Amino acid sequence: MTQRIVVLLSGRGSNFQSLLNASLTDQLGGSIDLVISNRPGAGGLAIANSAGIDTALVDHQAYTTRDAFDADLAGVINSVSPDLIVLAGFMRILTLPFVSQFAGRLLNIHPSLLPLYPGLNTHQRALDNGDTHAGATVHYVTGELDGGPSVIQAKVPIESGDTKEQLAARILHVEHQIYPKAVNWHLTGRLALQDGVLYKDAVPLPATGEIWQDRQ
């Protein structure tokens, strides 16, 4: 049976596009069955519609509480019984009941080398701190903000004179390479979380996840 994926997004959908490209060449390990946005007019919805993928809008502005939004979001997700929920630029902090319901089936990508710089403004924070490298991390979602087990990281050197926009563009390029890889590992059974330790191919991963190398 084909593994089923739900994608959550809020914006232009560039990481979703990289996942879609991988699925079209049978490199993802499953099919994207539904794309959900919390923002009307999100570019990712247009990409999904063009590809013939079902879409749904759960507009967070229509809800007075975070719990009510998450409950309806969970209902839409459960309507397709997914094997994996992928957050691709989904700009909402999810409640603990939601995360607990889908524990082990929620992946996110964060634009920093976690545990450095959880939250927002990651690129500027790396520049302000004088770091030599920045990057991106794919991780499982837990109740701790950007604190779940890391699957894979990609490092990007910070160059002299970099602006946050220049750094963000280079990091986004590697995000598009590591996210489909992590999704494939999950859907093909190469990842396992046991007693708080994440394993890939039965080998424990370091706390920062596997370090990505080109052509890996």
Catalytic residues: 110
Angstrom distance (rounded) from CA 103 to CA 144: 12
Cβ proximity of 178 and 138 under 8 Å: yes
In one letter, which amino acid is 202? Answer: A
Residue 126 sits at φ, ψ, to 5 deg, of -65, -40
What single string gives the DSSP state of each residue in 103-129?
TTSEEEEESS-TTSS-SS-HHHHHHHT
Half-sphere exposure of residue 170, counting CA atoms within 13 Å on the CB side?
Answer: 15
